[in-house]
Chain A
């Protein structure tokens, strides 16, 4: 084959490939992390991120979560004016924050007011797109404010956790958010209010070891990773492979640390029943 024809063919194939890629968004199909099947994205979205084949619960966006949990158009965000600052002047933190704000990623947690089958609730939904949903000052402050508002307005609080733990870039200030949120949860609790902690995949470190474990009722999704130390850290420390199913929701329930394991499609219904029993 002459060089020229080869060039024409290559060009043709290239443009066809480009055209094909342009017409097909990258994420038309999603591979299920569990059964590895390629699934039509629309189908997964419709199913709230649950694999239609194996039932695996994938990570969904904050917006999708509000659709799963709350009444249509009932969501009203609160405390949005709190923004992260680089108080320790930690190397690389400022740049990271600027990048995230440029992309409009709104902090490690969104907090607000919404309704579940008509019942008003206060909510927090953690956001892993913001430095792994780690607990910085803003996250701690928003949660404390949420509990305080819940106390003054006698509203139940529901917090959906997913987090890598403390925010290292905020040093001990981040650490203290554990005490701050736990103390706020305690005052909320003393006043007789209901706190439902919804722990999803993955939640580790300072979030598990503070407010997430302090719900009056603790609910998890099936097969979520929940722990204090991450599995890799434990393996490195004890130099031994971890048993199958270690630190999963099912494991935690068996050990007595989780009330309910609930499939995503059943969550709203379950929350509604719990709220009703508590006379909200």
Chain B
């Protein structure tokens, strides 16, 4: 894991600077160690093994199989006394989204899922799991309702993406997705998402802004379908298998990238006998919901914000910090105007983004 190594290297360098130059860098070191601790080594080694079980392309195909338990099945298994609630209160009810209230064991929750059929008819009824703008607005309405009654929200997501068509554009599919990201990121109750099959791009994202993101072992989450990626970037739709590899869309890959928090392993006979696997998932969800329910509201919201805020990979002067400081180099001439100072401490502060 290159990312982990990079962090480790930076920590080492910072410690060295701290010692040799007598500067207090504990805060920076702590924050990096926190980042590192997110990558649990035992789990990582175990999952490294399991990752080899299938190629990414195989997992794409498994995620899409018709026989696989559908997101609404998760609600049926996991949410007791479930009462479906309809409509966006703006004039529509999107069948591609199922939402309602019930219990996870003994905790009242709001559960929202995409719907996908196991045969053609059911699939057509649910628009193949592709929500229209109204579906996202319905989800947001239910999330707001959950907020009012202090219920945690659980999303179960399996969608190829938001619906792509004239009506969806006319009724503001972009705005609906953007609005969900905006509002859900700030919801006053904890949110949890399980990707059960396909996590198709922005359409899945708008239902997965959560304190914790879980993926089923053979689910995928991707910015674009491997087929789409192959035809656009590789100019050859038949290279989907290669694209699936390159996109790093499996649960294991995304865990390594710090995007997914937990992976639920699937039993061999998951398709025909989902109960044991879903019981494990229930236990994990229950523990987390319990934990988050007792968390201070602002702390809970900060955790969610910081989680998304920290996703991204780039080079900054910060990463180049060790060599620079050790070599005694001063600014690289690209400092943002007005904020660069002179002298070692100011330079360090600037490089660390402390201003």
Contacts and interface: CB of A to CB of B under 8 A. Distances in A.
A179 B336 contact: no
Interface stretch (A8-16, A41-49, A86-94, A117-125): A86-94
Interface stretch (A20-28, A63-71, A184-192, A267-275): A184-192
B79 to A, nearest CB: 25
B174 A227 contact: yes
Contacts of B201: 166, 175, 206
B39 interface: no
Q: Which of B206, B233, B311 has the most CB of A within 10 A?
A: B311
Contact of A87 (B173, B313, B316, B317): B313
B164 interface: yes
Contact of A174 (B174, B223, B242): B223
A61 interface: no
Contacts of B316: 81-83
Interface in A159-209: 166-180, 182-187, 189-190, 205-206, 208-209
B300 interface: no
B142 to A, nearest CB: 19
A255 B171 contact: yes
Contacts of A177: 311-312
B232 interface: yes
B35 to A, nearest CB: 15
A76 B168 CA distance: 40
A238 interface: yes
Interface stretch (A29-37, A50-58, A229-237): A229-237
B259 interface: yes
Interface stretch (B43-51, B57-65, B175-183, B269-277): B175-183
Contact of A77 (B182, B247, B249, B336): B336
A8 to B, nearest CB: 46
A109 interface: no
A137 interface: yes
A213 interface: yes
A189 B190 CA distance: 21
A237 B336 CA distance: 46
A257 interface: yes
A3 interface: no
A151 interface: no
Nearest to B242: A91
A168 B315 contact: no
Interface residues of B, number: 59
B166 A246 contact: yes
Given A179-B181, A208-B174, A168 B232 contact: yes
A205 B223 CA distance: 10
B41 interface: no
Given A176-B259, A176-B311, A179-B209, A169 B222 contact: no
A175 B220 CA distance: 13
A265 to B, nearest CB: 27
Contacts of B318: 81
Contacts, number: 197
A184 B52 CA distance: 37
Nearest to B162: A228
A176 B259 CA distance: 8
Interface string B217-249: 000011110000100111000000010001111
Given A137-B314, A186-B183, A179 B174 contact: no
Contacts of A185: 182
A119 to B, nearest CB: 18
A80 B331 CA distance: 13
Given A182-B185, A228-B173, A229-B169, A205 B246 contact: no
Contact of B174 (A138, A170, A209): A209
Given A76-B336, A172-B259, A178 B202 contact: yes
A137 B174 contact: no
Contact of A209 (B173, B304, B337, B338): B173
Contacts of A83: 314-316
B179 to A, nearest CB: 7
Nearest to A166: B223
B257 interface: yes
Given A180-B308, A190-B186, A210-B181, A173 B337 contact: no
A214 interface: yes
Contacts of B308: 176, 179-180, 183
A162 to B, nearest CB: 15
Interface in A213-263: 213-214, 227-229, 233-234, 237-238, 242-243, 246-247, 255-257
Nearest to B350: A81
A141 interface: yes
B166 A242 contact: yes
A236 B26 CA distance: 55
A157 interface: no
A82 B315 contact: yes
B312 A180 contact: yes
Contacts of A175: 201-202, 205, 221-223
Contacts of B259: 172-173, 176
Nearest 5 CB-CB pairs, A to B?
Answer: A182-B181, A183-B185, A137-B312, A87-B313, A213-B178
19 contacts: A81-B336, A82-B316, A90-B247, A137-B312, A137-B313, A168-B233, A169-B233, A170-B313, A171-B249, A175-B205, A180-B311, A186-B186, A210-B178, A212-B174, A213-B179, A214-B178, A214-B182, A234-B165, A255-B171
Interface of A: 76-85, 87-88, 90-92, 112, 137-138, 140-141, 144, 166-180, 182-187, 189-190, 205-206, 208-214, 227-229, 233-234, 237-238, 242-243, 246-247, 255-257
